[in-house]
Amino acid sequence: MRSLDEFASGKLAALQGARLLRTPVVTARQGIYAERGGRRLVSFSCNDYLNLSRHPAIIKAAVEAAERYGAGAGASRLVTGNHPLYDQLESRLCRLKRSEAACVFGAGYLANVGIIPALVGPDDLILVDELSHACLNAGAKLSGAAVQRFRHGDAAHVELLLARHRAAHPRTMIATDGVFSMDGDLAPLAELSRLAARFDAWLFVDDAHGLGVVGQGRGSTFANGAADVPLQMGTLSKAVGAYGGYLCASQPVIDLIRTRARPFIYSTGLPPPVVAAAIAALDIIASEPGYVAEPLRKARMFARAMNLPPAQSAIVPLILGESDAALAASATLEREGFLVVAIRPPTVPKGTARLRFAFTAQHPDAEIERLATAVHRCILRSQS
């Protein structure tokens, strides 16, 4: 065997042994349903919180944009890929996030690995919540700045780290998820923004799971009164139902990002149909507050039925511990007709493998009740 294949096979065997091997499973989504291996399951493992990826008006906008502007952008935005729809998308983001300017990237992941190194470098300091998303950590690492992880959601720990380390660095960033992707809780943004002001640090919030769901759809920055967040980042791939990442910030910051963030400079612009879909989706988010409130209402209903703490977003975790336990629970729910994917390390810390339930506007209340009953009967009872 060639050394390359030998290397890959060895790694795979080790992952399989630790029950950490992951493979994409063919899944046909249709609204709240997911079809796998010929079976139709009610899915609680999709981030399309408002079911907008299937909305007729949004699909129509995408089709029309494909016909008018083509299937692809043809070049990066700084060359000829900046088609006319980008301006419309960025101005809608500004309006929704109440920011001066906005910049759209190819994906949320690309946004984070682009924005952070464009703003901080090797002399600087980044404080990152320990449960922040992988791409926030990737951006921090790529920047070359000193990285200090703070205890999850712990503003007092941030204060301690700032008091200890801030003076040694010209620039400091505090970076956190707004809604934590695997836990569903909110970052303490009011406290963090006060600390940022006191220590002259720049607060960066990744709101991938907040936009369209909390703060009347404006995101976590607006969830508990409006916090002062100068760097509001997020994705267009979750509640917006399309694809792409964004940063909302002041005009000078956005102008700098557009000329310095490498994934913006060196990667092709988004396909016009994707941008058109995001525009149509943001129009719905801005104009239908009742619909936008539904995923959180459903998540709260489930959390109540499970005797869990009140849900703060559309995400409710049920932590089971070892990967085996999470995989077995997922398989049990699949037999009951539910798709709830097990989340394992390295996506979550060791020993906290879990089921992650994601609720969408169109999950019928009756299905949520049936799910809660099944979890009680099949998983919690067999554990105790």
Ligand X SMILES: *Cc1c(COP(=O)(O)O)cnc(C)c1O
Enumerate binding residues for ligand X (CB under 6 A): 107-109, 133, 135, 177, 181, 206, 208-209, 235, 237, 245
Q: Closer to ligand X at the Cβ: 124 or 129?
A: 129
Distance in angstroms (rounded) separating the CA atoms of residues 349 and 376: 25
**CB 216 to ligand X: min, Å:** 20
Distance in angstroms (rounded) separating the CA atoms of residues 7 and 283: 49
Q: For CA atoms 144, 150, 153, 154, give the dihedral sign.
A: negative
Task: Say if residue 346 is preceded by a cis peptide, omega within 30 of 0.
Answer: yes
Q: Closer to ligand X at the Cβ: 104 or 162?
A: 104
Q: Closer to ligand X at the Cβ: 89 or 208?
A: 208
Pairing of strands 39-43, 338-339: parallel
**CB 35 to ligand X: min, Å:** 22
Q: Could you tell me if 162 and 148 are in contact, meaning their C-beta atoms sit under 8 angstroms apart?
A: no
**CB 107 to ligand X: min, Å:** 4
Distance in angstroms (rounded) separating the CA atoms of residues 124 and 132: 19
Q: Closer to ligand X at the Cβ: 32 or 240?
A: 240
Residue 297: partners with Cβ closer than 8 Å, 6 or more residues away:
none
* CB-based closest residue to ligand X: 108
Give the helix ranges, DSSP H, for the chain.
3-17, 56-69, 85-97, 108-119, 134-143, 155-165, 189-199, 251-260, 262-266, 272-287, 289-292, 294-305, 323-335, 365-374, 381-383
Q: Could you tell me if 299 and 184 are in contact, meaning their C-beta atoms sit under 8 angstroms apart?
A: yes
CA atoms within a 13 Å half-sphere pointing along the CA-CB vector of 326:
24
Q: Closer to ligand X at the Cβ: 73 or 208?
A: 208
**CB 141 to ligand X: min, Å:** 15
* The residue to which tokens 């339930």 are assigned: 357
Q: Closer to ligand X at the Cβ: 104 or 196?
A: 104
Q: Closer to ligand X at the Cβ: 90 or 332?
A: 90
**CB 234 to ligand X: min, Å:** 8
**CB 342 to ligand X: min, Å:** 17
**CB 177 to ligand X: min, Å:** 5
Q: Could you tell me if 333 and 340 are in contact, meaning their C-beta atoms sit under 8 angstroms apart?
A: yes
